[in-house]
Homo-oligomer: A and B are copies of this chain.
Amino acid sequence: MTTTSNAGVIAPEIIEGAEELSSVLEAARMRGATIGFIPTMGALHQGHTSLIGRARAECYHVVVSIFVNPTQFNSQNDFDKYPRDIDFDIETAFEAGADYIFVPSVQEMYPKDSASKVVVPNISSIFEGESRPGHFEGVATIVTKLFSIVGRCKAYFGEKDFQQLQLVRRLVADLHLPIEIIACPTVREEDGLALSSRNQRLSLDERYAAGILFHALTQGRILIEQGERSRQVIEAKMQEILSNEPMATLDYASVISADNFLQLDTLAGEVRLLIAANFGDVRLIDNIGVTVPMENQKGQQ
Contact = CB atoms under 8 A, between A and B. Distances in A.
B119 A173 contact: no
B119 A170 contact: no
Contacts of A116: 118-120, 140, 170-171, 174-175
A26 interface: yes
A241 to B, nearest CB: 33
A92 B234 CA distance: 62
Given A173-B114, A260-B113, A178 B148 contact: yes
A132 interface: no
Given A116-B119, A123-B115, A170-B116, A22 B178 contact: yes
A247 interface: no
A144 B145 CA distance: 12
A152 to B, nearest CB: 7
A7 interface: no
A115 B170 contact: yes
A118 B115 contact: no
A260 B114 CA distance: 12
Nearest to A19: B176
A76 interface: no
26 contacts: A18-B176, A22-B176, A30-B30, A111-B174, A113-B260, A115-B120, A115-B121, A115-B122, A115-B170, A116-B118, A116-B119, A116-B120, A116-B170, A116-B171, A116-B174, A116-B175, A117-B118, A117-B119, A117-B120, A144-B175, A145-B174, A148-B175, A148-B176, A148-B177, A148-B178, A151-B152
